[in-house]
Structure 1
Amino acid sequence: MFGGTGRRIVSIWFPRFPSDRALRARAVEGPFALSLRHGNADGLYCLNPAAEALGLHLGLSLSEARAFAPSLIVRPADLAADRAQLAALRRWALRYCPWVGVAGRDALVLDITGAAHLIGDEAMMRGDIMRRLTRAGFTVRIGIADTHGAARALAHAAPGIAAAGQSRAALADLPIAALLIPPQMDTSLQRLGLRKIGDLLAAPRAPLARRFGQELLDILDRALGDLPDPIMPEAEPPRYGVRMTLPEPIGLLSDVTAGLDRLLIRLCETLRARGMGARSLRLTLRRVDGAAQHVPIRLAAPMREAPRILPLFARALEQVDAGFGIDQLRLEADVVTPMAPLQLGTSAASTDRVEALMTRIGTRIGLENLRRFQPIDSHIPENSFALAPASDAQRQGVWPGRPARPLILFTPEPVAANSATPPAAFHWRRMGFTTARATGPERIAPEWWSTAPKAGALRDYWRIDTREGRRLWLFYTPQNPGWFVQGEFL
């Protein structure tokens, strides 16, 4: 029997976690819901109380929900943001005990064995968790019992505390659905007259196992403590930092640089051993008077070579005020990314020089001010690119080589021409042009499936070589007859 080990488990369930997170970021008044796409349709994913009061429920299609409640405010669900928020709450919950794990997409589980007295008792700990999370804007239900299964059942059906050794009695009057069994299994059990967990405990086990499989009995046994149900806390991400405490304070720039050099060598060795590269570094200089100065730098590309990184601190270190002396240096890699080994060669050296130049410029004007063009999967010319940070590690996509596109692209500008075929002569930007050769057409249709801004009509693109020497990219709109210039070939 595992129930007599003296363990005490807390289950924290957030019944409206996705919508609570979204409303904390941007609050709204009235009925609110998050939508999630299933197949080819959007359905309701999470509702606030005002939306539930209108009779809306999870799984309802978005079109039906809008028909029932025209005032409903809907945003798309962000599952990645939900996971990040739950991970942040898991780290926050470490204030209560060292064993905290994530249970599903909307719950936390804490092993508070031997830790409740630090707050006072279990009731005071539960009240403190409730107050803090409620003040933060989360709807929360908490159960405490000897096992995770029992605590989770209490959180879902009857939030409260089950006394030590009384999990069986606390579960007896709860509905079987509190065990979080599959809905089909719950429906089948109710048809047999088994509606409460107590009814399930009194039923013969062999017929239940034959009809519903061993899964049902294992869930029940884990809730009662007859089977182990370990809590697996997530490992904290590694932190890359080194520190040097000095026996005597220093104040010279050369001494600080020498200490930083030693820290960089140690830090880069650790990064290299783990296949990582630093994207952002922070040097903290603690003075003897207790004050601290921070010297951050951002890198255009992952680096782990101390000789290349050290000169990047030179400009910032000149601005440091050592006061009566510095007695401690701490260097930490705030942002790290995987860095695969690269074969050394001409191309690698060229890339390193470009990244070093970007880093040097970025330390002066800010890396966010260095931009580049990012290819976008769209055949509409003005939607086929976007500006992205030049130091972005996720460089994906390439522009297709065919059909050819002009090097200079601008907003379509009308030209004075009326014919449906390429005009023999036209005026553009107060200049007259004569067509020497026209190549085309290439028809581009609007992207009806995209939500991005798109062309309002069909376009027939032509490459026009003029006798004046300009090579222009013109298009004609059949629905609304007219010619436009959108680019120029060099």
Structure 2
Amino acid sequence: MFDGANRRVVSLWFPRLASDRALRLRPVAGPFALTLRQDNTNRIYCLNITAERQGLYRGMIFSDARAFCPDLQSRPAEPMADRCFLNNLRRWATRYCPWVGFEGEDGLVMDITGSAHLAGGEAAMLADLRQRLARVGLTVQIGLGDTRGAAWALARHGEGVAAPGAAQAALDPLPVAALRLDSDTVTALQRLGLRTIGQLANAARAPLARRFGPDLLMRLDQALGLQPEQISPQAEPPHYGVRLSLPEPIGLEADVMAGTERLLIRLCDKLIRDEAGARVLCLTLRRVDSHARHVELRLARPLRDPARILPLFARDIGQVDAGYGIDQMRLEATQVEPLPTEQINHAGPDNRDRLDDLITRIGTRIGLENILRFLPADSHIPERSFIMAPAAYSSPEPFPPPPRLRPLIMFRPEAIRATGPRPPQQFRWRRMRLTTMRATGPERIAPEWWLNDENWRSGPRDYWRVETTQGRRLWLFYTPQDPGWFVQGEFA
């Protein structure tokens, strides 16, 4: 038997975590719900107690909810923000004990063994927990028991406290769903007449194991303390920051660069150990007058090579006003990305490295988001066959060969005066009178009917390559459904 007599576990369940977080930011009066699009339908993701009292529930179709409750107020749900908020609560809960982990998407589990006396006992700790959470507007249900399973069951099906060594007595009246079982297993047990944990514990184990497998009995034994269950605290993310205190103030650019190099070596050692690369670096220079100067470096790709990063700091460090001297330097990687170890190329430095360094240098002046590159897009529409993305946050991709010859220069369609389905012999374009010498086509391109594009509402287009006697090689198209001629590109 697992010896868990001295172990005490607290389970915190936040049944309205998402709506409580949203209402803390922007309070509203009356029924309120968060919506999330699921299976092409807006459904209720979370709601407050007022909406629940009016008969609304999670998973309900939002249009039906508005019909039941016309004064319902809503906002889109933000699951990622809810996850970050729960992580902040986990970090806050470490004030009570060091072992705090996640319990699903809306709960926390705390191993308070040996920690309760620091808060005045278990009752005082739970009261303080409840009071502080209620003060910030969070609804919480708390369970306390000898095991993780017992605490989970008490928090979600009774909100109670099981005395040490009395887990079974506290769990017996609870439904079998309190054992963290799937809905199919719960339904099957209820059909057999096993509706409570007490009835399940007193039933013959062999037939249950044959019918439901070992998971059912494992959950029961974990809740009763017959099998161990670990509580793994969430590890704190690594901190990539180094500091250098100077015995004498410095002010020369060369000295600051030398200090930055020492910090970079130490920081990159941490990054190499964790197979990570810095994307954004912040160098803080504290002057003797207690004022600080910050130098931020945004890199075009994750790096952890001090020799490549140091020259990129030179321009901004040279513009720093050292005042009466700098006595402390701090370097921190504020944005880090995974950077697995790669095979070294025997042919020498990669040309991509030089390009990334150039993008970084230019980006420090005009911003990395303003340096763009063309990337292919999955569309047969000429103007949609490519996208423009920041070069620092994308990788180059080869363009597939076009099905037909495409112009080097493309622009918005410009109308010309002409009639008939074939290219005109003479036409005016951009104040130039042009004469057609040769026309090749047509190439019909149909619109993407699943997209609402006003430029293609005129229907399919018949494209022609037109060579003029004046030397212009243009790309023209004709719209049969709404007759008209347009120029959209020019060949080199």
TM over 0.5: yes
Matching residue of 2:4: 4
Matching residue of 1:239: 239
> Alignment length, in residue pairs?
486
Instruction: State whether residues 425 and 434 of structure 1, in contact with CA within 8 Å, keep that contact through their aligned partners in structure 2.
Output: yes
Q: Does residue 1:329 correspond to 2:329, yes or no?
A: yes
Matching residue of 1:470: 472
Matching residue of 1:379: 380
Pairing 1:120-269 to 2, within 5 Å after superposition: 120-130=120-130, 133=133, 138-269=138-269
The CA deviation string for residues 110-161 of structure 1, in whole angstroms up to 9 with x for no partner, is: 2222233444443444444445555656543332222111111122122243
CA distance in 2, matches of 1:284, 1:201: 62
Matching residue of 2:406: 405
Matching residue of 2:43: 44
Superposed CA RMSD in Å reads 3.5
For residues 329 and 137 of structure 1, do their structure 2 counterparts lie closer, same or farther at Cα, with a shift above 3 Å needed? Answer: same
Matching residue of 2:441: 439
The CA deviation string for residues 409-452 of structure 1, in whole angstroms up to 9 with x for no partner, is: 3333333233234444444344443332133313232241x588
SS at match of 2:474: strand
Matching residue of 1:367: 368
Q: TM-score w.r.t. structure 1 length?
A: 0.84
2:180 counterpart letter in structure 1: L
2:355 counterpart letter in structure 1: V
The CA deviation string for residues 156-209 of structure 1, in whole angstroms up to 9 with x for no partner, is: 122243333332222222222222211122122222332222222333333333
Matching residue of 2:283: 283
Matching residue of 1:34: 35
Residues 222-231 or 394-403, more deviating: 394-403
Matching residue of 1:481: 483
Instruction: State whether residues 372 and 388 of structure 1, in contact with CA within 8 Å, keep that contact through their aligned partners in structure 2.
Output: yes
Matching residue of 1:459: 460
Matching residue of 1:308: 308
Instruction: State whether residues 282 and 297 of structure 1, in contact with CA within 8 Å, keep that contact through their aligned partners in structure 2.
Output: yes
CA distance in 2, matches of 1:200, 1:193: 9
Unaligned runs of 5+ in 2: none
SS at match of 1:352: helix
Per-residue deviation, 1:229: 0.8
SS at match of 2:238: coil
CA distance in 2, matches of 1:24, 1:451: 38
Identity of aligned residues (%): 54
Unaligned runs of 5+ in 1: none
Residues 241-250 or 298-307, more deviating: 241-250
Matching residue of 1:416: 417
Matching residue of 1:295: 295
CA distance in 2, matches of 1:397, 1:109: 46
2:460 counterpart letter in structure 1: R
For residues 43 and 208 of structure 1, do their structure 2 counterparts lie closer, same or farther at Cα, with a shift above 3 Å needed? Answer: farther
SS at match of 1:161: coil
SS at match of 2:482: coil
CA distance in 2, matches of 1:53, 1:486: 60
Per-residue deviation, 1:219: 0.7
The CA deviation string for residues 198-245 of structure 1, in whole angstroms up to 9 with x for no partner, is: 222333333333333321121111112111010122333333333333
The CA deviation string for residues 255-305 of structure 1, in whole angstroms up to 9 with x for no partner, is: 222221112223234434543322111223344565544322111222223
